[in-house]
Amino acid sequence: MPQPLVIIITLISNLFFGGKLPAFLSTDSRPVIDPIIEQVSRMTLEEKIRQTLVCGYEGKDPDTVLKVLKSCSNIIYSGSNLEGLTEKEIFDHNQQIHLQDPLSWIMVDQEGGKVARIKDGSPSPRKMAEKNTVSYWGGQHGKLLKGLDFDVNLAPVADITKNNSAVGDRSFSDDPNLNGQMAVEYLRALQDQGIIGVVKHLPGHGRVDYDTHRESGYLNYSWEEISNFDLIPFIKIVEGGAKIVMVGHIIIPELDSSPASISPLVIEKLRFTLPSGNDLVFISDSLSMKGVGLPEEQAAIEAIKAGEDMILLQGAKEDEIFSKILTLYQDGTLDVSKLDRSVSRILKVKTMFAKE
């Protein structure tokens, strides 16, 4: 660098930047290391796999859930886990989980109405569908869950209710734009309280004829029709701040005979269609549901191959599934570089919402 230019830059540095060069004038050619990538590089294969698994468990014994943490870094409560427990007992359970695994996410379904694992008197999303009301209840759910030491609420539902009783009043509206607007308001109020929302159920359950908890469900429309209707609320809510999206066991016959949750083609299209799709964390719906059409262990492997970042297991075989997944990464059947990308996405969101 010519000497006069060095003198000028030094003067500017001293006058305006306290003697430190701003990044754009720095001559330091060392690469900037992304702290998330660096963190992933230091993790063992077992630790990475645990980050991608979300597991349920049976009963209410805290010792049971602590054993589950050996295979899964993330826990989901069902209604039966919480029934009869006081708020103090729930808080104490969650504290134990976070003490054992500080990176753990504790999840619950607290949509309101009939899907509320903690009974708080909140109305169904359909009855919340007015801006001030939906923001109020999003905030109330956030305060409740934050106070009990939860991390993630598997809500809101962005499906557009048409003819499907499985969704029904779990959806805000049968209008895609209004549904998206309400979902955004709910999500923002929820996340303002420090609780992460998970938007569900891609690519849209509202026009599916059957309940995928019990059987296969088909979305019998072209991808163009789905993009211009069913995906509208999901696009709006991702633009509004969603970081995690849930993929349901919905079959799109035009694209694939497999459910979306285990379809590489559908997940690829969703990542391409949603804003910043490659940065979103994709999580499967529960792989114990009948609609996936496979035993849970096989479904877990197919979901990973398809591109899910996290898989939801509720069949009480998490240790066996963990061991099988570990073996498949070790022998090269599953791609470790894809695992690293998934863990990076997950840790980025965990860091964003880290407890103070």
Q: Which residues are catalytic?
A: 213, 285
d(CA 323, CA 328): 9
C-beta pairs of 322-327 under 8 Å, 24+ apart in sequence: 322/49, 322/50, 322/53, 322/71, 322/72, 324/297, 324/300, 325/49, 325/300, 325/301, 326/45, 326/46, 326/49
Q: For residues 170 and 158, is the Cβ–Cβ distance under 8 A?
A: no
Separation of alpha carbons 190 and 184, rounded Å? 10
Structure tokens at 293: 């059409």
Residue 272 is inside which H or E element, if any? helix 264-273
Return the closest-CA partner of residue 100 out of 59, 149, 66: 66
CA distance 351 to 336: 22
CB neighbours of residue 327 within 10 Å: 11
